[in-house]
Structure 1
């Protein structure tokens, strides 16, 4: 695994062998290769390459090793949310020799396909990077419509096959980045991939943990466009957790108000149930009032009054003004969040119920804490 800036890249050091399809340990991606190198009978691991020249690149760890293939190399990304992605392919020629001998005459030429479409023909790493041991990144836009991303590098017999050695030909790639283009997050509920959430929260780093709810922890995160988020992690093994997850999405995605927390989207992948909200800088009202001393906020009476009125306005919207009439059923200080200006926003709609207008009373059955 390699970390560069705010991105974490999965390890791709599997030797590959002669098998044609290799699934990653995380099962989020896989690769396949075709063909056999000319000298594969005398060389052991011929699917991966290690640097043999001096690298003058940023993020050098990305380019110390690469994957190669004699004919075709295809990567598959699985379980992705459908939509537009920015795909960045990272290359550096690390197998050629930059000297004054005939070995420096080697050429590597291949084609690049994304989602089955030819996006770059006769690509030559050395020419594009302007030298051996130098990095070049090619960005492309890919449309994912069946939750799978396919990237294929194809050698069509162009370039040299014997310089500097018989096995230095075919496609080579150092790293791949795929980022979802999530736009207008405030206009609709988006579907996030687990990979996005892990990248945003640094793989649910405990240092990013900002709270613990009844059905799981809450983490602070940052999307690739700089948007701060709060990620609520629910237990998929809990039937009540499942109900709350679905209830939360159904309720809050249909409600928009200045005093209700905004839901950006969700992630349902593997055994993960994740809700993605706007990030509230001052956490919850309970922490501001009763939390550890270093987290308490001195709230003067005008601020307390404004917070109380904001909560009341949010409840009035739920009960009287919204198209859906909603009873929250779990209003408490921990479910009132405070933004950077100490404006209150009601959160946690997992126990909320719709109020049919003909009802003259609401069930008094105990809910919440």
Structure 2
């Protein structure tokens, strides 16, 4: 490939969203010959690329270390496209009139008393009179969405354990203070190898105030569901420690606050107590659910200040820049003049700027190369 690039005066541009070697290693082990072959392949072509487009600053610095700054290394944080947005109550009513999530609850869970009564002019979340506007139901559950690939790098059992702890807690709390804690409905989207296993586990869970349903949504309905939800949950743990979860990008595109599993690079996307919360175990996630939804005014969710403050931050810091604008501003100028991009990148190509400590902790090296920081661009 590199010979063809040289022969035709072409340039190699690599879009790094994760490392193939780390993903193969998770399944086959670090000592597997296939893991080593993938690592060698990535190293060979990574050394020869004109531009490395990285999904995080942590990854960009890691590549500077791995490939000794050969080629231009830039950070292009993902952004959601224009179609991802928060829905208003009328749109939520129309969406859930069509989705009918209550049917999935009836089919997939043991708890037949979880659902409120739903008439012709009502959905699981909303209701509408003949001539009046749609409003949120006072007895609706909290809608929480988690999108998963059902793979080993997402610990779904952690979410089930947190839900069980929440259910046990509010059985006690609501017995003395009725309605203090709302019911939670988790909608889990996506397909993958562990889906059937966890569907069987969910079907046997005897929870009173929490329900899980799994579904596969069309590309049109997926952003609409996110736009109608109260909270998103990300279980992504990262095989490399340097990538960022696309599912959280989708959620932020819809103005949806997130509780996300903590790992090294995540702070570039999820800032705790600003646009979301981070957790490391089931106990911490359960505490966050209690913190966010205790006394939640279900008929007027916009008045719940912590969630609304998070939505405001997402609106100001994330939704103003969409995918196309981000691409045109950050990457397109470099692509338009690849020869100059390559020439500029070779000016300081002798040594790496960063070394990596345990768990991808970034440590600066010699002061002589601090000026090379400009090669890590965002």
- TM-score grouping bracket, smaller chain normalisation: under 0.3
Which of the two has greater helix per residue? 2
When the two structures are superposed, what TM-score results if normalisation uses the length of structure 2? Answer: 0.27
Q: Which one has a bigger Cα radius of gyration?
A: 1
Which of the two has greater strand per residue? 1
